[in-house]
Structure 1
Amino acid sequence: MTDSPTFVVVLLHEDRGRDRALQLPPPGSGTPPVRVRVATTFAGAAAWDVYELVDGGEWPEQAVYHHVAIEPSLAAHLS
């Protein structure tokens, strides 16, 4: 594993206009996270876009994820 303070997360979405790449701090383990959640909005409420790992072959520099779900954000219910 490199000493990089971040790794690139490539997020693929069924709506290709929403594909993007982000830099995130690496997880505490020596493997890419299996699931990544990114803050979003859905129907005007706070939510999470959920992505699952599809290719970790370039780890620890980057990992590729595919969108699998939208989850409501608990934080939206706490305010």
Structure 2
Amino acid sequence: MIPVFLLRLLLIFGVSLLVFAPITGYIAYNYGRSFWRWFALGLLLPFFSVFIALFVAMRERSAEDQAGRQNPPRR
């Protein structure tokens, strides 16, 4: 018989996989990254992967803004 505590822990982990993995993939896909690669990362690191994907997206956006400021469009 499985203890109730272990059953609850497995349920929480399973739900987090179903929630965080697709969110991570969606964030990455919106910034031009591979959905399935980031989905797999979301399966391996359910909670932290969302923050990693957001960090990568914000860093990429910042680099694009920096490049845009250095090379303004010609008129």
The structure having more radius of gyration, on CA atoms, is: 2
Which structure carries more relative contact order (alpha carbon 8 Å, separation 6+)?
1
Q: TM-score, normalised by structure 1?
A: 0.27
Q: TM-score, normalised by structure 2?
A: 0.28
